Structure 1
Amino acid sequence: MLKLASVARAELVKAQSTGCIVIADPDGLPLYVERQASAYPNCLSAALAKAKSAALFEKDTNGDYEALKKGDMTTLVVPHLSPNPGGVPLRAEGSVIGSLAISTADGAIDEKVVRATIATWNH
């Protein structure tokens, strides 16, 4: 878990950004929470929501973000579903064992950082 957080932190530096990092268990409960200095005010709430969503629904939150952009409003009424990029489930041997979420002021950065971090997890 600390290695994953360290990689996420390094990826945020590469992206020249600051934000929040959340690693959660399979129920979306936070196991690791970091709010970096200079992070935007709501980043922790956003990262917690993304982590919970990715764990509970066992899918990347970016898919729901893309659906929302196309006009699918159902994502807004499902409890605990976050239609914001930057949350991914963590899998081991095919099972979801938790999630990782990144939140900055820019969803494109969130998606980039979470993808780079998860690539490290998968290797």
Structure 2
Amino acid sequence: MKRRHQIVTTLGLACLVYGSVQAEEATYTSITLTTEAALKAAQAALVSCREGGYQVAVSVTDRLGTPIVVLRDRYAGPHTPEAATRKAYTSASFRMSSADLAEATQTGKATSGIRHLKHILALGGGLPIEAAGSLVGAIGISGAPGGDADEACAQAGIDAIQADLDFQ
């Protein structure tokens, strides 16, 4: 009888512990960019592109790829806000630059089908934004002559908020 009581007690404690672990795992906490940080990054990226002579659109998203800020310079093409947002979404979704995804999903590669997913844009100009090793958002640029130039402006946007991100 004593042995049975020990087993029941042990099982009961295990259930309590397991139940509390399950409750803890039912939710999670994550960090994302504030609207103010997203705006600061977008404005810095826009300025960088202007200094290069480019009229662009900039989109900064949260960690899930949802736009927080979209800015379009006055002479940027009408397609640029959507393209910038899709580049940022792509970077947030795959946690890599959109240029790296373009390379990894070229025609003929096993992963090329990823390009056909809705909202994915495998062109240079999108970068993930990280704080303390965690994805907190992404930035996408469209309108400069080529993905390299778009990416350089995106990096300027990240650089403008990097000290704030490092402080986290």
Q: TM-score range by the shorter chain?
A: 0.7 to 0.9
Structure 1 residue runs without a partner (length 5+): none
For 2:154, the equivalent position in structure 1 comes to: 114
Choose which of 37, 40, 52 in structure 1 pairs with 2:77: 40
Q: SS state of the match for residue 150, structure 2?
A: helix
SS of 1:17's partner is coil
Structure with greater proportional strand content: 1
Amino acid at match of 2:139: L
Q: Quick one: higher RCO (CA 8 Å, sep 6+), 1 or 2?
A: 1
Contact 1:64 1:75 in 2 (8 A): no
2:58 partner SS: strand
Q: Which moved more, 1:74-83 or 1:104-113?
A: 74-83
In structure 2, C-alpha distance between the alignment counterparts of 1:9 and 1:59, rounded to whole Å: 21
TM-score of the aligned structures, taking structure 2 as reference length: 0.65
**Secondary structure of 2:121's aligned partner:** coil
Tell me the equivalent position of 1:86.
Answer: 125
Matches within 5 A, 1:1-123: 1-67=38-104, 72=109, 73-106=112-145, 107-123=147-163
* Helix, strand or coil at the partner of 1:3: helix
Percent identical residues: 29
| Structure 2 residue runs without a partner (length 5+) | 1-37, 164-168
2:106 & 2:157 partners in 1: Cα distance?
25
Q: Which structure would you say has the larger Rg?
A: 2
Taking structure 1 as the reference length, what is the TM-score of the superposition?
A: 0.86
RMSD of aligned alpha carbons: 1.9
Query: How many residues are matched?
Result: 123
CA positional deviation for 1:30 = 0.4
Distance 1:110 1:28, change over 3 A: same
| Paired residue type of 1:112 | A
